[in-house]
Each structure stands twice: as C-alpha cells, then as structure tokens.
Chains A and B, each alone.
Chain A
Amino acid sequence: MQSLKSDVLDLNRDLFVLEQELLYPANTQVAVFVSMDAGTFFSLDTVQLKIDGKEVANYLYTPREVHALVQGGVQRLYVGNLKVGKHELVAFFTGKGPHDRDYTRGASLEFRKDIGAKYLELTITDDQGKLQPQFRIKNWE
C-alpha cells in the first residue's frame, strides 16, 4: 500500500510539473498570490483580479480557505501568461469589514513583465493604528 501510494504521489507530482511547464512556461509565467495577516478587521469573501482591464479571476472563498490564509497559508490565486512589457494589475476585495459591515476595497499596481516568472502578492493586513484593514500589492523581484 505504501509503495503504491508513493508511486501515485510521484506520478501526481510529475503530472503537476508537466501541466505547469506546458501551460505556463517560466518565461511568460505570471502568478498572483493572496496572503492575510491576522484578519481581525476584515473577513474575506471574494477577490476579483483584472490584468490590463481584463478579468482573469473572480474567487469566492470558503471558510476553510480563509482559515488557511489566516493561519499563514498563501494562496496562488491566479497563474497565467503575459508578454514582456508594462502591465496593470487591479484587485478588488470584498468581505466584512469592521463592525461586520460590507466592505469593498481595491488596489492596483503597474508592473513590468520581463523574461522569467513574475510573482505578485496581494496582502491583506490589519492597520492597528487606523483599526482598518489594509490592502496592498507587492511586486516580488
């Protein structure tokens, strides 16, 4: 049983590697991640992503996924391909803000895609000073 499970896991890894390399070659790959720190002032419901004005992801979170984010997991929300050059990423976050009120915020970032994989991270953090959530986009060089 152990040997069979190991073989299936190895095969699954190889299939995942093939899929990623075939669909998202390293030279054109762009990946957008989502992370949350604490999440006291914001309970995440959805994230909508637009790249160069075109919607590429609209994700509805389950409580289990939000819990995984709060615990320190980082979701790879979107992976796709982009040409070399300047691009714009816009993200809209919806959920419940302070006092359990509906809350929608946006963040945007202009970035340059060069040859090689590009990682962008949408971060949701608590601003303890303003008692509000903060939404940022980090460009990983």
Chain B
Amino acid sequence: MARPACLCVLAVLALLAAAAPAAARLHDPEALPEVRIQDLPYGDVLFYYYQGKDFEAATRLLAYQHWSSLPHHESDAHLLLGGLYLSLGMYDRADQAFEQLLTSDVPTGVRNRAWLFLGQALYARGQYAEAERDLIRISGRMSPDLESQKELLLANVWMREGKFDRAAQLLSSWRGTQQGWTAYARLNLGIALVRQGRLAEAAPVLTSVGTMYALAPEMLAIKDRANLALGVAYLQARQSAQARVALDRVRLEGPFSGDALLAAGWAQAADGNYRAALTPWLALHGRSPLDRSVQEAYLTVPYAFVELKAPGQAAQYYRTALRSYDEESARIDGAIARVRSGGLLTQLLTHEADSPGAVIAGNDPMNDDALPDRLSYGWFWQLGNVPDDPESHYLYAVFAGPDFQEGLRNYRDLKLMERMLRQWSISMDAFQEMIAARHRAYAERLPNVDAMLASGRLAGLKQRRAALADRLAQVGRTRDVTALATPQERAQWARVLRVQTRLAHDPDTPSYAALRERLRVVRGVLLYRMDREFAARLWHERRELRTIDLALGRARERWTGLESGRQALPTETGNFAGRVGALQQRIGVLQARLAVAEAAQSRSLADLAVHDLEQRKKRLQGYRVQAQFALATIYDQAARAGGGGKPSRAPARPIPAPGAPQP
C-alpha cells in the first residue's frame, strides 16, 4: 500500500489543483463566490503555485497579506496558504491556517475543504484518530471529486486504525471520479478484506482491479499489486491453483515481478511440482541480486533440486548462493564504508545538480527558473539520479526507502534554503549601497531644496494669482472693457485719451469742434469694438485663470512633496538602513542554524542508511547460514551414502524472509 504521506501529497495536489483555478475561472460549489481574479497579486501567487514553486508562492502570499493586497480573496488565500504549508511540510502552520477558516462566517464549502486539508495533514503525520475526527466534521456532501477523496482518506484512516470492517463497508459503496482513485480504493478494500480473513469477499474485488484495462504505468503497477496480493492470499490459504491464476497475470517486467515469480514458484511447490517451480525461480536467478526475492531464489532453486533428488545440482546452486551472498555482503560493506566516509550526500546532490534538467535553487526574482519548486523542493522531490557504480546501486534501494527519502528531502530543503539566504545576503550588500547612495544624493541636493523652500516662491505665486483673480472679478463687475483690450487697442485707446486731454485745453473754434467730433467717433468705434469682444475676452481670461489654478495645484503638490520628502527622507533612509541591518543579522543567525541542522541531518541520514544496509547484511547472513546448513546436509548425505551410513534428514525448506510478499 502507498505510504500515508504519498497519498496525502497526491490528494492535496489534486484538491488544490481543483480548488484554485476553479476560484479563478469556473463555478465550483467548493469555491468562494468570486469567479474571477479580483486582486491581481492573488493571481501572481497562483502563477507561482501552478508552476509548483510553493516556497515562492507562500513568500509572495505572505507579503501580499502584509500589504493587505488581497481584500477580495481573503479566505481563498488562507486556504491556499494552508495547502502550501502542507506541501512544504510545515504542518503546525498548516493547522493554524486551516483553523482560521473554521469560523461561522466562512462559506460551508470552504470550511469543508479546510477540514479535509486538516484531515490529510493529520493522516500524513500518523495522527489517525484526529484525522478521523476532522473528516467526520465535514458537513453535507461536497463536490463529487472532493467527496470521493474524503471517503478514500477516511477508509485509509480506518484501515490504519485496524477498523477493516468499517473501511470495507465504506469502500464497497465508494465511487471515485477518476480511474486511478477507483482502482486504488478497490485495491485497498481487497487488502483490507484479506487481512480480515475474508478471502472469498476480497477475491472478486482484487480480481476486478487485476483484470482492468490499463495503459498508464501507474495503473499497470496497481494491477500487478492486486494480482500479487490475491495470489499470495490464495497461497496462504493453501489454494495454489487459484494463486497461480492470479500470479500469472503479473507482468514479467514490473515493480512486483520479483515477488510474483517467487510466489509463483511456491504455488507450484505447494502441489509438489518442483520441476515447474524451477521455471519462475530460475528466471529470478538472472536478475539483480539487490532484489530480496532474487536473494531468496538463490535458496529456493537448490531446495527444488533437492526435492527432485538432484543433490549435485542443488549443491552447485547452494555454492553459487554462498558466493553471491558473500559478494553482496562485500558490496554492502563497501556501501557502508562510503556512507560513513561522509561524502555520500554531497556526491548525490552534486550528481543531481549536474544532471540534465536539474533545477538550480535561488531567489533571483529576475530568474524564475532559479526558484525552488515543488518538483525539486519539499515533499514532492524524488531522487532521480544515483551515481552509476555497483555500491551506489546497492544504495539506491536504501535511498528509495521512505524514511531516507523524507530525510533526504529535508536535507535538500536545508541546502536550498541555505543557497537562497546566501543570495539574499549578496542582495543586502547591494541594498546597503543603494541606501548610502540615496543618502549622498540627499545631502548633495539638500542646499538647493532648502533654498527653494526658503524662497517662498509658491506663496508669491499664490498672491499674484489671488490679485489677478480679484482684478478679473472687478473688470467683470465694472465691465471695464479697456482692461481686456488687445495691445493695439490699448495703444489706440491711450492715444484717444491723450488727444482728448489736449483738445480739452484748445479753444472752442469750428476747426477744433470738427476735430473733437472726429475724436468722439473714433472713441466710439474703439469702445464699440472692445465692448463687442469683452464677453469672449472675459471668458478666455477666466479659462486662463483656471489653467493657472491647475498648474498652481500641481506646483503645490510638488512643493508639499518636497517639504515632506525633506522631512521624511532621512527617516525613511534610516528605517531602510535599520531594516537591512536587522535582516542581515537574521540571515546570519539562520545561516548558522541551517549549517547545524544540515550537519545533523547529514549524520542522521548516514545513520539511517547504515542501519538499513546492516539490516540487509543481516538478512543475507541469515540466508547464508541456511545455504551453508543445506550444503552441509547434502555433503553429509553424500558421504553417508558413499560410506553406507544412515542418511541424515533432508535440507530444510528455505524460510521466507521477513519481508516476503504479504497481501
């Protein structure tokens, strides 16, 4: 059965993938009422989330929350943040994030999803009772996809708790929305029934999975797993004929083929068909000796020859087995020495970084590909490349173990975080330089700014504007047409006034009277023209005044900005400098903590690998003792037969290893 963490990860991925785009695009009963992105920063978070860059997505989401930039997506953001914490392995924070959503003012659909997330988080940590409690709190039915995921998770919880009856009852009516989930659930149901000793009920369930139509590698593996489980269950129930039918359905090349071949041999041997049993067991002989089933086949093949009364061949195969066990033991010793030398992880990660498509971690905002992502960071990272040499191949099996994988992921997380902080540390130096440059620029410009602010130019302009407005109002009120005259008209009007003054002092003769009459006509014409244009000119002047008002308004804004900048800039620069200093200190502290954690994690991984390898060596030693004993028995029998003595008992039937296939 899949590991709980793996299941959780799959479920969270599926759930989040179903949730967030729905919020953005389509109507989904689980989503908040919004059907489109209303805050662009939330879309920015999703952009990183959908690329699997969970650390960057979480960083940005927290930053946008800090700036209150997500007012329309508050609940969605909390839900997403909880999911991101989960995928980053930060369970405590995930709990907090989800619990914030478990209030009455959050829509039921969102609350249900929070309960489901919480249940998954608890399940991944092995807190099955708490996971069950939270899953049962989900009220009403969710969308078909989420409902099926909830039921599958609940069934898994019950199976982990040993409540197979309840799990079987739930899964018997379970209908998944995707073939993978359905097959997986039915496989789990079949296994649960077998463990309860209800083979008759389990058989049709496992047979239906084992005979389903499948093309995808994952589906084919599930098929093989179901057939193997059924075959072994039949074998244990001493129904070897049925066992063979199920085991024959397992592919010859696949993750379960070794165990299936071993079990197929035992299914023949159970009926005394040792010759037939040799076929699958000898097929295992040519395979990699790293496989436990292959190691076991080194014992079962000679055992079959003994049963077929062919002690010579049996002895030959036992000797081969002993040689193989010794070689493997030596390789394990080499692998242990290599792990203890301390260079294993460095070599492993260096090899990975050199491999094509390796993702280089960092936090350069200009280089998206430098960001850690879900595929290379956190819980979803899988070991893709192992150095290509015999010892490493032995280590591969250790690396693939769940405990080592989890530890290795943590180690790699630490490495990525350390690299990220190193990059930030470089940025901090640049920020400090920038702040210093701003400070210098401020000092250089300060005298000019002070001179400008002290000049009172803005106040002077405001006064002039006020005077102009008063004058215009007066002109309008008194209809002073000459005040708005053109320069030419103004010159003509001045001339008329000058002539008028002179004529006022001249005698009252007919010639002067004629001049006065002409002047009166000219004056009248001029006044008429100015009066005719007065309204348009007054409107134009008022419009000009409004333009001046706008310009003055902008000048006032800039003046105010200058004044406040003059006051605030030293404080702001000082604040930034203080923040940079404080953050540099935090970077230093965390870098030290990361170094300590890295060393501890490296030691822990080495211990884990050594422990695993020693266990393997111990198992090989057990096989070796059995082979030695059987070989000695054959020699003993041969000697007695040659010397006419009483034959001793036959070699013992090989003891299946503790890790032998279980349904």
Check if B44 sits within 8 Å of A74, measured CB to CB.
Answer: yes
Q: Does A56 contact B (CB under 8 A)?
A: no
Complex Cα spacing A22 to B434, Å: 9
Contact A16 B590 (CB under 8 A): no
Query: Could you tell me the distance between the alpha carbons of A17 and B61 in the complex, rounded to whole angstroms?
Result: 11
The answer to whether B55 has its CB under 8 Å from any CB of chain A is yes
Interface residues of B in 35-64 (CB under 8 A from A): 37, 40-44, 46-52, 55, 58-60, 62-63
Question: In whole Å, how far is B601's beta carbon from the nearest beta carbon of chain A?
Answer: 8
Q: Which residues between 46 and 98 of chain A lie within 8 Å of chain B, taking CB atoms?
A: 62, 64-65, 67-69, 71-76
Pairwise interchain contact B62-A73, C-beta atoms closer than 8 A: no
Docked-complex contact A72 and B59, CB < 8 angstroms: no
Q: How far is the CA of A17 from the CA of B63 in the complex (A)?
A: 6
What 1/0 flags go to A1-44 for Cβ under 8 Å of B? 11011111111111111111110000000010101010000000
What is the total of A-B residue contacts with beta carbons within 8 Å?
A: 141
Given the contacts A4-B597, A18-B576, A22-B576, A74 and B59 also touching, CB distance less than 8 Å: no
Chain B residue with minimal CB distance to A13?
B62
B-chain residues with CB within 8 Å of residue A37 when the two chains form the complex? 25
Tally A residues with Cβ within 8 Å of B.
Answer: 41
List of B residues within 8 angstroms of A71 by Cβ = 20-21, 24, 46, 50
Hey, which chain A residues are within 8 Å of B597, CB to CB? 1, 4
Contact of B59 among A9, A18, A33, A119 (CB under 8 A): A9
A18 to B49, CA, bound (A): 22
Say yes or no: is A126 at the interface (Cβ < 8 Å to chain B).
no
Beta-carbon contact of B583 and A14 below 8 Å: yes
Given A72-B20, A72-B25, A73-B48, A13 contacting B89 (CB threshold 8 A): no
Asked if B40 contacts A140 (CB within 8 A), the reply is: yes
Q: Is the CB of A9 within 8 A of B50?
A: no
CB 8 Å contact bits of B399-429 with A (1 = contact, 0 = none)? 0000000000010011001001100100100
Report the minimal beta-carbon distance from B41 to chain A, rounded to whole angstroms. 8
| B363 interface hit (Cβ, 8 Å) | yes
A68 touches B44 (CB 8 A): no
User: Given A2-B89, A71-B21, A71-B46, do A11 and B66 touch, yes or no (CB 8 Å)?
Assistant: no
Cα–Cα distance between A15 and B594 once the two chains are bound (Å): 17
Nearest opposing residue in chain B for A115, CB measure: B557
Complex Cα gap A138–B576 (Å): 33
Q: Is the CB of B50 within 8 A of A73?
A: yes
Q: Please report whether the interface of chain A is mostly helix, strand, loop or mixed according to DSSP.
A: helix
In the complex the two chains form, what is the Cα distance from A21 to B573 in whole Å?
11
Q: Is the CB of B90 within 8 A of A2?
A: yes
A45 on interface, CB distance cutoff 8 Å: no
**A9:B58 contact, CB within 8 angstroms:** yes
Note all chain B residues with C-beta closer than 8 A to A7. Answer: 590, 593
Q: Select which of B20, B42, B55 is within 8 A of A9 by beta carbon.
A: B55
How many Å lie between the Cα of A68 and that of B21 in the bound state? 10
Residues of B within 8 A of A4 (CB): 414, 417, 590, 593-594, 597
Known contacts A6-B90, A72-B37; is-contact A12 B44 (Cβ 8 Å): no
What is the CA–CA distance of A38 and B63 in the complex, to the nearest angstrom? 29
Closest to B66 in A: A17
- With A33-B44, A73-B47 as contacts: A15 and B427 at CB distance below 8 Å: yes
Cα distance A62–B43 when bound, in Å?
A: 18
Complex Cα spacing A10 to B24, Å: 27
A22-B431, A71-B21, A72-B20 known; A13-B48 Cβ under 8 A = no
A60 CA to B138 CA in the complex, in Å?
44
Q: Which of A15, A74, A76 is packed against the most chain B CB atoms within 10 Å?
A: A15
Q: Are B593 and A72 in contact (CB under 8 A)?
A: no
- Asked if B583 and A15 sit within 8 Å, CB to CB, the answer is yes
CB within 8 Å of A: which B552-595 residues:
557, 576, 579-580, 583, 586-587, 590, 593-594
A-B contact pairs, 30 of them (CB 8 A): A1-B597, A2-B89, A2-B92, A4-B593, A6-B93, A7-B590, A8-B420, A11-B586, A12-B363, A14-B586, A16-B60, A18-B431, A18-B576, A18-B579, A19-B365, A21-B576, A22-B431, A22-B434, A64-B51, A68-B47, A68-B48, A68-B50, A72-B46, A73-B43, A74-B37, A74-B42, A74-B44, A74-B47, A75-B44, A76-B47
Which 6 A-B residue pairs are closest in the complex by CB-CB distance? A74-B43, A73-B47, A72-B24, A68-B50, A13-B62, A73-B46
